[in-house]
Structure 1
């Protein structure tokens, strides 16, 4: 069975959850024991890892609570470093837009490297590394 459509759906769902300020939807995309870390710029410090679904949910909820704009995550150029029936490593480019006060601007670009697992008939993110080219 092709893996790609399921992973595209999962990554789109996680982005939609953030854009629609739904931390529960985002959290549902991660395994219970998932990890997530973030780096801004080549020389930036590593932020995280945030360990466990609850910590990842809290990170997103706190970030959303501080925002006054509408975010839109645009994913592109999905490719696989590894792909099997029950595991995959996917790399995706990110363009992050902000809509506020009638204006659209690019907040940052970057990429995700997601380690994904197929458990109980569902694909989930087990480890997410986020790299942003610029702070926003």
Structure 2
């Protein structure tokens, strides 16, 4: 498998983990020392950083516990901005769907800015910044 395909799989496994309420799968896509930040809107404050895999796991577990809908994270337009043998900087678009009470709606769009590192035989997210156009 190419590095690009491996990187796409990491991002997609993280999204799948959230969507299927498998926070362990989601967290496994991050390094032990990963950091995550979030910003809503161009003028919004940056939330975080959430530092370490355990903090990222807790953030997502708490978010899922408060949800009443089914989310679907759709990642597209992945661009590898910079790549070496063991690091990659990637941007990708996010379209966030919500399914509730028989209705489907887009609840936000945005993007991810991820820095990944190759550890052992696979890639993991070392830093992630999430930007959302709208709050959800």
**Shorter-chain TM-score: what band?**
over 0.9
- For 2:53 and 2:16, the matched residues in 1 are separated by 17
Structure 1 position 2, deviation (Å): 3.0
TM-score where L is the length of structure 1: 0.98
For residues 18-74 of structure 1, the C-alpha deviation after alignment (integer angstroms, 9 at most, x for no partner) is 000111111100000000000000000000000000000000000000001000000
1:73 matched to 2:77: no
- For 1:57 and 1:79, the matched residues in 2 are separated by 26
Count of matched residue positions in the alignment of Structure 1 and Structure 2? 136
TM-score where L is the length of structure 2: 0.98
RMSD: 0.8
Structure 2 unaligned regions, length at least 5? none
What stretches of structure 1 move > 4 A for 4+ residues in a row?
Answer: none
User: Where does residue 19 of structure 2 map in the other structure?
Assistant: 19
- For 2:18 and 2:80, the matched residues in 1 are separated by 23
- For 2:115 and 2:23, the matched residues in 1 are separated by 20
